[in-house]
Structure 1
Amino acid sequence: MNNRTLHWQCTSSKLVLSGKLDRDTLMVLWQQRKSIMTNINTIDVRALERVDSAGLALLVHLREIVRMQGDTLIFTGITDKLQSLIILYNLQQIIVSEKETISL
């Protein structure tokens, strides 16, 4: 895998992201976001090596696309580093992980 690359795969209702989700890699996903997010209700982020604030902003935007479609988006595989970024930007109520949903 190229260390400056973002990869994704859609399976059923899940989008699996891997590689780096940052300002240098997210443009291709951004350009295809509406078609990719059709029928997606889970994003698996466990294989992301790096996420910066631009990547986090894209995740928030993808959540909004799903919300506008009348569904709820769940994130799985949130790493400690990504969780720290989510807390830093006070997005705990927006970026909801699977385990948080189960515990409610």
Structure 2
Amino acid sequence: MSNWSIDAGVICFSGVLDRFTVPDLWASLSSWKPTEKGYLVDLSRVERVDSAGMVMLIHLLEHAKTENCHIMLSFVPKDLGTLFRLSNVDKLLAKHIQN
């Protein structure tokens, strides 16, 4: 199970971001309209992420960009970082990852 919430410029994901949970998450995220110029996406409570979760986060970055909003990913799980590298998107996402 996974969940997301927004509070004071922070988007927090929790649980699992995988091919089973992403469709429902994206259904709600795709209609989200940012009200801030930037958001921090807190991934510290994500238990597991697969390639579907990675793609959803990339789509979220692009969705925000079309709304003139910049997103920074924080507490990126090790397995997600590995997926970024294996997919050769790590350099493209470098400006969106908070160390």
Q: TM-score normalised to the size of structure 1?
A: 0.82
More strand by share: 2
CA contact (8 A) 1:16 1:45 kept: yes
Report if the CA contact (8 A) 1:37-1:62 is conserved: no
- Which residue does the alignment assign to 1:25? 21
- Pair 1:11 & 2:7 matched: yes
| Larger mean Cα displacement after TM superposition, 36-45 or 56-65 | 36-45
**Which residue of the other structure, out of 44, 49, 52, is the alignment partner of 1:51?**
49
CA separation of 1:37 and 1:15: change in aligned 2, threshold 3 A: farther
User: Aligned partners of 1:58 and 1:46: how far apart in 2?
Assistant: 17
- Give the letter for the 2:69 counterpart: D
Rounded to whole Å, the distance in 2 between the matches of 1:37 and 1:46 is 23
User: Could you report, residue by residue, the CA deviation over 1:51-89 in whole angstroms, capped at 9, with x for unpaired residues?
Assistant: 111110000000001111112110000122111111111
Partner of residue 73, structure 2: 75
8 Å Cα contact 1:13/1:42 also seen in 2? yes
Q: Would you say how many aligned residue pairs link Structure 1 and Structure 2?
A: 95
Structure 2 residues not aligned, in runs of 5+: none
CA distance in 1, matches of 2:87, 2:39: 23
Which stretches of structure 1, 4 residues or more, deviate above 6 A after TM superposition? none
Confirm or deny: 8 A CA contact 2:33 2:67 kept in the other structure: no
**Which stretch shows the higher mean deviation, 54-63 or 66-75?**
66-75
Q: Give the deviation of 1:35 after TM superposition.
A: 3.6
TM-score by length of 2: 0.85
